[in-house]
Amino acid sequence: MKKLMNTIKDFFSFIHQKLTQNKVLFIDGNSVKVLNRNVNPRLFKIVSILLIVIIVYLFLYIFGSASLFFVLRRSIYVIVPLILVAFGGLYSERSGIVNIALEGMMVFGAFIGIMFIVKFEDSSINSQVVYLLGILVAGIAGMLFSLIHAFASINMKANQIISGTALNLLAPAFALFVIKLIYGGENILFRDNYFVREMGFLTKIPVLGPIFFEKGYYSTFYTIIIILIAGIFLYKTRIGLRLRACGEHPHAADAAGINVAKMRYFGVMISGLLAGIGGLLLVVPLDVAFRATASGYGFLALAVLISGQWKPFRIIVVAVFFGFMLNLSGAYQSINFLRDAGLPDKVYSMLPFVLTLFVLAFTSKTSQAPRASGEPYDPGKR
Protein backbone atom coordinates (compact mmCIF):
# COMPACT_ATOMS: atom_id res chain seq x y z
CA MET A 1 0.00 0.00 0.00
CA LYS A 2 2.77 2.38 0.97
CA LYS A 3 4.56 1.45 -2.23
CA LEU A 4 1.51 2.39 -4.27
CA MET A 5 1.21 5.73 -2.45
CA ASN A 6 4.84 6.38 -3.19
CA THR A 7 4.44 5.70 -6.89
CA ILE A 8 1.47 8.05 -7.05
CA LYS A 9 3.43 10.67 -5.17
CA ASP A 10 6.35 10.19 -7.53
CA PHE A 11 4.07 10.50 -10.50
CA PHE A 12 2.62 13.78 -9.29
CA SER A 13 5.99 15.20 -8.43
CA PHE A 14 7.12 14.18 -11.91
CA ILE A 15 4.19 16.07 -13.48
CA HIS A 16 4.81 19.00 -11.22
CA GLN A 17 8.43 18.97 -12.16
CA LYS A 18 7.53 18.93 -15.86
CA LEU A 19 5.11 21.79 -15.46
CA THR A 20 7.50 23.97 -13.50
CA GLN A 21 10.63 25.41 -14.92
CA ASN A 22 12.70 22.36 -14.00
CA LYS A 23 14.48 24.41 -11.39
CA VAL A 24 14.07 21.75 -8.75
CA LEU A 25 16.43 20.94 -5.93
CA PHE A 26 16.57 17.47 -4.49
CA ILE A 27 17.50 17.41 -0.87
CA ASP A 28 18.15 14.11 0.93
CA GLY A 29 16.39 11.68 -1.34
CA ASN A 30 12.74 12.55 -1.67
CA SER A 31 11.99 16.00 -0.27
CA VAL A 32 11.57 18.43 -3.14
CA LYS A 33 12.14 22.13 -3.08
CA VAL A 34 10.88 24.22 -5.96
CA LEU A 35 12.76 27.41 -6.57
CA ASN A 36 10.64 28.85 -9.34
CA ARG A 37 6.95 28.18 -9.65
CA ASN A 38 6.57 29.61 -13.16
CA VAL A 39 4.99 27.30 -15.68
CA ASN A 40 7.28 25.96 -18.35
CA PRO A 41 6.84 28.49 -21.14
CA ARG A 42 7.11 25.97 -23.94
CA LEU A 43 4.50 23.68 -22.44
CA PHE A 44 2.31 26.68 -21.78
CA LYS A 45 2.64 27.72 -25.41
CA ILE A 46 1.73 24.30 -26.75
CA VAL A 47 -1.23 23.89 -24.42
CA SER A 48 -2.58 27.34 -25.22
CA ILE A 49 -2.23 26.77 -28.97
CA LEU A 50 -4.08 23.48 -28.65
CA LEU A 51 -6.80 25.17 -26.66
CA ILE A 52 -7.16 27.93 -29.24
CA VAL A 53 -7.32 25.39 -32.05
CA ILE A 54 -10.02 23.42 -30.23
CA ILE A 55 -12.05 26.54 -29.51
CA VAL A 56 -11.78 27.74 -33.11
CA TYR A 57 -12.74 24.30 -34.35
CA LEU A 58 -15.81 24.15 -32.10
CA PHE A 59 -16.75 27.68 -33.05
CA LEU A 60 -16.59 26.84 -36.74
CA TYR A 61 -18.42 23.58 -36.18
CA ILE A 62 -21.33 25.40 -34.55
CA PHE A 63 -21.42 28.70 -36.43
CA GLY A 64 -19.66 27.77 -39.67
CA SER A 65 -21.63 28.56 -42.81
CA ALA A 66 -20.85 27.93 -46.43
CA SER A 67 -19.91 31.57 -46.96
CA LEU A 68 -17.50 31.59 -44.03
CA PHE A 69 -15.86 28.43 -45.34
CA PHE A 70 -15.63 30.12 -48.72
CA VAL A 71 -13.75 33.06 -47.22
CA LEU A 72 -11.43 30.76 -45.33
CA ARG A 73 -10.74 28.73 -48.45
CA ARG A 74 -9.96 31.83 -50.44
CA SER A 75 -7.77 33.08 -47.61
CA ILE A 76 -5.63 29.97 -47.81
CA TYR A 77 -4.76 30.82 -51.42
CA VAL A 78 -3.12 33.97 -50.10
CA ILE A 79 -1.91 32.85 -46.66
CA VAL A 80 0.20 29.97 -47.92
CA PRO A 81 2.33 31.95 -50.37
CA LEU A 82 2.50 34.87 -47.94
CA ILE A 83 3.99 32.69 -45.21
CA LEU A 84 6.30 31.03 -47.70
CA VAL A 85 7.67 34.31 -49.03
CA ALA A 86 7.92 35.84 -45.57
CA PHE A 87 9.91 32.78 -44.48
CA GLY A 88 12.12 33.41 -47.49
CA GLY A 89 12.73 36.91 -46.20
CA LEU A 90 13.32 35.44 -42.75
CA TYR A 91 16.14 33.18 -43.98
CA SER A 92 17.81 36.02 -45.79
CA GLU A 93 17.51 38.62 -43.03
CA ARG A 94 18.44 36.15 -40.31
CA SER A 95 21.65 35.47 -42.19
CA GLY A 96 22.32 39.20 -42.31
CA ILE A 97 21.22 40.17 -45.82
CA VAL A 98 18.32 42.61 -46.09
CA ASN A 99 16.04 41.34 -48.81
CA ILE A 100 13.59 43.84 -50.23
CA ALA A 101 13.83 41.94 -53.53
CA LEU A 102 11.17 39.43 -52.45
CA GLU A 103 8.73 40.94 -54.92
CA GLY A 104 11.19 40.58 -57.78
CA MET A 105 12.05 37.02 -56.81
CA MET A 106 8.35 36.16 -56.71
CA VAL A 107 7.80 37.64 -60.16
CA PHE A 108 10.77 35.81 -61.61
CA GLY A 109 9.86 32.48 -60.04
CA ALA A 110 6.26 32.78 -61.15
CA PHE A 111 7.38 33.81 -64.64
CA ILE A 112 9.60 30.78 -65.24
CA GLY A 113 7.17 28.46 -63.44
CA ILE A 114 4.22 29.63 -65.54
CA MET A 115 6.24 29.29 -68.75
CA PHE A 116 6.98 25.72 -67.69
CA ILE A 117 3.44 24.70 -66.83
CA VAL A 118 2.02 26.38 -69.94
CA LYS A 119 4.44 24.35 -72.02
CA PHE A 120 3.11 21.07 -70.59
CA GLU A 121 -0.49 22.19 -70.20
CA ASP A 122 -1.76 20.22 -73.19
CA SER A 123 0.50 17.21 -72.86
CA SER A 124 -0.71 13.86 -71.58
CA ILE A 125 1.27 14.14 -68.34
CA ASN A 126 -0.87 14.22 -65.20
CA SER A 127 -1.59 17.86 -64.43
CA GLN A 128 -0.74 17.45 -60.75
CA VAL A 129 2.70 16.17 -61.69
CA VAL A 130 3.15 19.11 -64.03
CA TYR A 131 2.20 21.50 -61.23
CA LEU A 132 4.60 19.89 -58.79
CA LEU A 133 7.39 20.12 -61.36
CA GLY A 134 6.35 23.70 -62.10
CA ILE A 135 6.69 24.54 -58.42
CA LEU A 136 10.16 23.02 -58.41
CA VAL A 137 11.13 24.96 -61.52
CA ALA A 138 9.77 28.19 -60.03
CA GLY A 139 11.77 27.60 -56.86
CA ILE A 140 14.98 26.93 -58.74
CA ALA A 141 14.41 29.98 -60.94
CA GLY A 142 13.90 32.15 -57.87
CA MET A 143 17.04 30.68 -56.35
CA LEU A 144 19.15 31.41 -59.42
CA PHE A 145 17.71 34.92 -59.59
CA SER A 146 18.56 35.50 -55.94
CA LEU A 147 22.20 34.73 -56.72
CA ILE A 148 22.42 38.16 -58.37
CA HIS A 149 21.49 39.75 -55.04
CA ALA A 150 23.77 37.41 -53.12
CA PHE A 151 26.75 38.18 -55.35
CA ALA A 152 26.30 41.93 -54.99
CA SER A 153 25.69 41.98 -51.26
CA ILE A 154 28.16 39.30 -50.15
CA ASN A 155 31.06 39.33 -52.58
CA MET A 156 30.84 42.96 -53.63
CA LYS A 157 29.74 44.33 -50.24
CA ALA A 158 27.16 46.39 -52.08
CA ASN A 159 24.36 48.37 -50.50
CA GLN A 160 21.71 45.68 -50.11
CA ILE A 161 18.76 48.00 -50.51
CA ILE A 162 20.05 49.28 -53.85
CA SER A 163 20.74 45.80 -55.12
CA GLY A 164 17.32 44.60 -53.94
CA THR A 165 15.61 47.52 -55.65
CA ALA A 166 17.46 46.66 -58.86
CA LEU A 167 16.08 43.12 -58.69
CA ASN A 168 12.57 44.41 -58.07
CA LEU A 169 12.85 46.56 -61.20
CA LEU A 170 14.57 43.88 -63.25
CA ALA A 171 12.15 40.99 -62.78
CA PRO A 172 8.97 42.56 -64.23
CA ALA A 173 10.82 44.40 -67.01
CA PHE A 174 12.69 41.28 -68.04
CA ALA A 175 9.56 39.13 -67.83
CA LEU A 176 7.54 41.57 -69.94
CA PHE A 177 10.35 41.81 -72.48
CA VAL A 178 10.60 38.03 -72.86
CA ILE A 179 6.81 37.57 -72.88
CA LYS A 180 6.54 40.07 -75.75
CA LEU A 181 9.30 38.23 -77.55
CA ILE A 182 7.91 34.71 -77.13
CA TYR A 183 4.15 35.09 -76.75
CA GLY A 184 3.67 38.41 -78.51
CA GLY A 185 1.30 39.86 -75.91
CA GLU A 186 1.48 41.53 -72.55
CA ASN A 187 0.75 38.40 -70.53
CA ILE A 188 0.84 34.59 -70.54
CA LEU A 189 -2.57 32.94 -70.48
CA PHE A 190 -2.76 29.66 -68.63
CA ARG A 191 -5.43 27.13 -67.78
CA ASP A 192 -5.90 26.18 -64.17
CA ASN A 193 -5.80 22.38 -64.48
CA TYR A 194 -4.46 22.00 -60.99
CA PHE A 195 -7.56 22.99 -59.09
CA VAL A 196 -9.10 20.07 -57.22
CA ARG A 197 -12.81 20.03 -56.41
CA GLU A 198 -12.88 17.26 -53.85
CA MET A 199 -10.23 15.23 -52.20
CA GLY A 200 -11.93 11.90 -51.48
CA PHE A 201 -13.15 11.07 -47.98
CA LEU A 202 -11.17 13.99 -46.51
CA THR A 203 -13.75 16.42 -47.87
CA LYS A 204 -16.38 14.85 -45.62
CA ILE A 205 -14.63 15.80 -42.38
CA PRO A 206 -16.68 18.54 -40.72
CA VAL A 207 -15.03 22.00 -40.72
CA LEU A 208 -11.61 20.79 -41.92
CA GLY A 209 -13.11 19.22 -45.03
CA PRO A 210 -14.71 22.29 -46.57
CA ILE A 211 -11.76 24.52 -45.61
CA PHE A 212 -8.75 22.44 -46.58
CA PHE A 213 -9.94 19.53 -48.68
CA GLU A 214 -12.42 21.08 -51.04
CA LYS A 215 -11.87 23.34 -54.04
CA GLY A 216 -8.20 23.72 -53.33
CA TYR A 217 -4.78 22.70 -54.49
CA TYR A 218 -2.61 19.82 -53.42
CA SER A 219 0.21 22.33 -53.40
CA THR A 220 -1.20 23.68 -50.13
CA PHE A 221 -0.12 20.51 -48.37
CA TYR A 222 3.39 20.34 -49.62
CA THR A 223 3.79 24.00 -48.89
CA ILE A 224 2.65 23.46 -45.31
CA ILE A 225 5.31 20.75 -45.04
CA ILE A 226 7.92 23.11 -46.51
CA ILE A 227 6.89 25.79 -44.02
CA LEU A 228 7.19 23.39 -41.09
CA ILE A 229 10.57 22.15 -42.24
CA ALA A 230 11.83 25.68 -42.86
CA GLY A 231 10.71 26.86 -39.42
CA ILE A 232 12.14 23.88 -37.57
CA PHE A 233 15.35 23.92 -39.56
CA LEU A 234 16.12 27.51 -38.66
CA TYR A 235 15.58 27.01 -34.94
CA LYS A 236 16.39 23.37 -34.19
CA THR A 237 19.42 22.50 -36.26
CA ARG A 238 23.06 23.42 -36.05
CA ILE A 239 23.10 25.02 -39.49
CA GLY A 240 20.05 27.09 -38.57
CA LEU A 241 21.77 28.33 -35.43
CA ARG A 242 24.90 29.20 -37.43
CA LEU A 243 22.81 31.05 -39.98
CA ARG A 244 21.19 33.14 -37.26
CA ALA A 245 24.56 33.80 -35.68
CA CYS A 246 25.75 35.30 -38.97
CA GLY A 247 22.86 37.73 -38.85
CA GLU A 248 23.43 38.76 -35.25
CA HIS A 249 27.18 38.94 -34.92
CA PRO A 250 29.14 37.80 -37.96
CA HIS A 251 32.50 38.49 -36.35
CA ALA A 252 31.73 36.16 -33.46
CA ALA A 253 30.38 33.60 -35.90
CA ASP A 254 33.55 33.86 -37.94
CA ALA A 255 35.69 33.48 -34.86
CA ALA A 256 33.73 30.32 -34.02
CA GLY A 257 34.78 28.87 -37.35
CA ILE A 258 31.62 29.53 -39.36
CA ASN A 259 32.04 30.57 -42.98
CA VAL A 260 29.94 33.75 -42.96
CA ALA A 261 29.89 34.21 -46.74
CA LYS A 262 28.76 30.62 -47.30
CA MET A 263 26.04 30.89 -44.67
CA ARG A 264 24.76 34.12 -46.17
CA TYR A 265 24.73 32.64 -49.66
CA PHE A 266 22.70 29.79 -48.23
CA GLY A 267 20.25 32.20 -46.60
CA VAL A 268 19.72 34.29 -49.72
CA MET A 269 19.35 31.23 -51.96
CA ILE A 270 16.73 29.65 -49.67
CA SER A 271 15.02 33.01 -49.71
CA GLY A 272 14.95 32.99 -53.51
CA LEU A 273 13.71 29.39 -53.53
CA LEU A 274 10.80 30.07 -51.19
CA ALA A 275 9.91 33.38 -52.85
CA GLY A 276 9.95 31.78 -56.30
CA ILE A 277 7.59 29.03 -55.17
CA GLY A 278 5.41 31.58 -53.41
CA GLY A 279 5.18 33.64 -56.59
CA LEU A 280 3.82 30.72 -58.61
CA LEU A 281 1.44 29.61 -55.87
CA LEU A 282 0.03 33.11 -55.66
CA VAL A 283 -0.51 33.69 -59.37
CA VAL A 284 -2.15 30.37 -60.24
CA PRO A 285 -5.24 30.53 -57.99
CA LEU A 286 -5.86 34.25 -58.29
CA ASP A 287 -5.60 34.95 -62.00
CA VAL A 288 -6.04 33.47 -65.45
CA ALA A 289 -2.93 35.10 -66.87
CA PHE A 290 0.52 35.99 -65.67
CA ARG A 291 0.95 39.74 -66.06
CA ALA A 292 4.58 40.04 -64.91
CA THR A 293 3.57 41.25 -61.47
CA ALA A 294 3.14 39.80 -58.01
CA SER A 295 0.58 42.53 -57.18
CA GLY A 296 2.69 43.86 -54.35
CA TYR A 297 2.52 40.64 -52.34
CA GLY A 298 6.31 40.59 -52.06
CA PHE A 299 6.18 43.88 -50.19
CA LEU A 300 3.29 42.57 -48.11
CA ALA A 301 5.39 39.55 -47.21
CA LEU A 302 8.15 41.94 -46.17
CA ALA A 303 5.63 43.74 -44.00
CA VAL A 304 4.49 40.42 -42.54
CA LEU A 305 8.11 39.51 -41.83
CA ILE A 306 8.78 42.76 -39.99
CA SER A 307 5.43 42.72 -38.16
CA GLY A 308 6.23 39.15 -37.16
CA GLN A 309 9.43 40.53 -35.65
CA TRP A 310 11.62 38.06 -37.58
CA LYS A 311 10.17 35.08 -35.65
CA PRO A 312 8.57 32.14 -37.52
CA PHE A 313 5.60 31.57 -35.26
CA ARG A 314 4.63 35.23 -35.15
CA ILE A 315 5.04 35.46 -38.92
CA ILE A 316 2.53 32.65 -39.34
CA VAL A 317 0.06 34.34 -36.99
CA VAL A 318 0.41 37.69 -38.77
CA ALA A 319 0.09 36.09 -42.21
CA VAL A 320 -3.03 34.15 -41.22
CA PHE A 321 -4.64 37.28 -39.82
CA PHE A 322 -3.64 39.26 -42.86
CA GLY A 323 -4.73 36.72 -45.44
CA PHE A 324 -8.10 36.34 -43.76
CA MET A 325 -8.67 40.09 -43.59
CA LEU A 326 -7.64 40.55 -47.22
CA ASN A 327 -10.35 38.15 -48.32
CA LEU A 328 -13.03 39.52 -46.10
CA SER A 329 -13.64 42.29 -48.64
CA GLY A 330 -14.53 39.71 -51.27
CA ALA A 331 -17.11 38.05 -49.06
CA TYR A 332 -18.43 40.62 -46.65
CA GLN A 333 -21.78 40.66 -48.43
CA SER A 334 -22.54 37.16 -47.28
CA ILE A 335 -21.95 38.13 -43.66
CA ASN A 336 -25.13 39.70 -42.36
CA PHE A 337 -24.03 42.45 -40.02
CA LEU A 338 -21.27 43.61 -42.37
CA ARG A 339 -23.69 43.85 -45.28
CA ASP A 340 -26.18 45.83 -43.22
CA ALA A 341 -23.50 48.36 -42.27
CA GLY A 342 -23.76 49.68 -45.83
CA LEU A 343 -20.11 50.73 -46.22
CA PRO A 344 -18.44 50.76 -49.64
CA ASP A 345 -16.63 47.47 -50.30
CA LYS A 346 -13.20 49.07 -50.59
CA VAL A 347 -13.43 50.02 -46.93
CA TYR A 348 -13.06 46.32 -46.20
CA SER A 349 -10.07 46.16 -48.52
CA MET A 350 -8.47 48.94 -46.50
CA LEU A 351 -9.24 47.32 -43.18
CA PRO A 352 -6.36 44.80 -42.95
CA PHE A 353 -3.80 47.55 -43.51
CA VAL A 354 -5.33 49.92 -40.99
CA LEU A 355 -5.66 47.16 -38.41
CA THR A 356 -2.06 46.10 -38.97
CA LEU A 357 -0.89 49.63 -38.25
CA PHE A 358 -2.87 49.59 -34.99
CA VAL A 359 -1.58 46.19 -33.97
CA LEU A 360 1.97 47.23 -34.80
CA ALA A 361 1.65 50.36 -32.71
CA PHE A 362 1.02 48.18 -29.67
CA THR A 363 3.47 45.39 -30.37
CA SER A 364 6.54 47.06 -31.85
CA LYS A 365 7.98 48.69 -28.77
CA THR A 366 10.65 46.03 -28.32
CA SER A 367 10.93 44.98 -31.96
CA GLN A 368 14.52 44.41 -33.02
CA ALA A 369 15.81 43.39 -36.44
CA PRO A 370 18.68 40.89 -36.67
CA ARG A 371 21.52 43.05 -35.50
CA ALA A 372 23.88 42.70 -38.45
CA SER A 373 21.30 42.65 -41.23
CA GLY A 374 22.08 45.14 -43.94
CA GLU A 375 25.73 45.36 -43.05
CA PRO A 376 28.25 43.80 -45.39
CA TYR A 377 30.59 41.52 -43.47
CA ASP A 378 34.06 42.98 -43.34
CA PRO A 379 36.48 40.69 -41.49
CA GLY A 380 38.95 43.53 -41.08
CA LYS A 381 36.53 45.72 -39.16
CA ARG A 382 36.96 45.77 -35.37
Residue type, 194: Y
Q: Which of 26, 28, 362, 381 binds another protein (CB under 8 A)?
A: 362
Given 169, 189, 239, 256, the residue binding another protein (CB under 8 A): 169
Q: Which position among 165, 193, 203, 334 is part of the footprint of another protein (CB under 8 A)?
A: 165
Under rule CB under 8 A, residue 187 binds another protein: no
Stretch that binds another protein, among 45-53, 169-177, 235-243, 258-266 (CB under 8 A): 169-177
Is the Cα torsion angle 97, 100, 102, 107 positive or negative in sign?
negative
173 binds another protein (CB under 8 A): yes
Based on the shown chain and the rule CB under 8 A, indicate whether residue 239 belongs to the binding site for another protein: no
Q: How far, in Å, CA of 230 to CA of 79, rounded? A: 16
Site membership for another protein, residue 125 (CB under 8 A): no
Question: 10-41 burial string, b = 16+ CB within 10 Å, else e?
Answer: eeeeeeeeeebeeeeeeeeeeeeeeeeeeeee
Contacts with another protein, 138-157, as mask; x by CB under 8 A: ----------x---x---xx
Nearest Cα neighbor of 112 from 165, 191, 167, 178 is 178
Q: Between 32 and 162, whose beta carbon lies closer to another protein? A: 162
Among 32, 357, 371, 379, binds another protein (CB under 8 A): 357
Which residues, at least 6 apart from 320, have a Cβ–Cβ distance to it below 8 Å?
Answer: 75, 79, 83
Q: Which stretch binds another protein (CB under 8 A): 139-147, 160-168, 212-220, 250-258?
A: 160-168
Residue range at the interface with another protein (CB under 8 A); choices 18-26, 161-169, 214-222, 268-276: 161-169
Burial status of residue 103 (CB atoms within 10 A of its CB: 0-12, 13-18, 19 or more): buried
Which position among 25, 340, 361, 382 is part of the footprint of another protein (CB under 8 A)?
Answer: 361
Smallest distance, Å, CB 342 to another protein? Answer: 13
Which amino acid is it at 238? R
Among 4, 62, 66, 181, binds another protein (CB under 8 A): 181
Axis-axis angle for helices 66-94, 297-307 (nearest 10): 70
Separation of alpha carbons 227 and 116, rounded Å: 24
356 binds another protein (CB under 8 A): yes
Which residue from 344, 380, 381, 382 is in contact with another protein, where contact means CB under 8 A?
344
Q: How many residues at the interface with another protein, by CB under 8 A?
A: 50
- Identify any residues that bridge with 27 across adjacent strands, giving them in sequence order: 31
Q: Which is nearer to another protein, 156 or 252 (CB)?
A: 156
Between the alpha carbon of residue 108 and those of residues 101, 184, 280, the distances in Å are 11, 19, 9
Instruction: Determine if 79 is a binding residue for another protein (CB under 8 A).
Output: no
Cβ closer to another protein: 240 or 374?
374
Distances (CA, A) of 276 to 87, 116, 138, 269, 272: 12, 13, 5, 10, 6
- Near another protein by CB under 8 A: residue from 75, 219, 307, 373: 307
As measured in angstroms, the least distance from the Cβ of 152 to another protein is 5
Write the CB contacts of 201 (distance below 8 Å, at least 6 apart in sequence).
none
The window from 17-25, 117-125, 198-206, 348-356 that contacts another protein (CB under 8 A) reads 348-356
Q: Which of 149, 370, 90, 380 has its CA nearest to residue 245?
A: 370
Closest distance of CB 179 from another protein, Å: 9
What angle, 0 to 180 degrees and rounded to 10, lies between the N-to-C axes of helices 238-248 and 260-286?
Answer: 100
Q: Which residues are near another protein by CB under 8 A?
A: 100, 148, 152, 156-163, 165-170, 172-174, 176-177, 180-181, 293, 295-296, 299-300, 302-303, 306-307, 344, 346-347, 349-350, 353-354, 356-357, 360-362, 364-367, 369
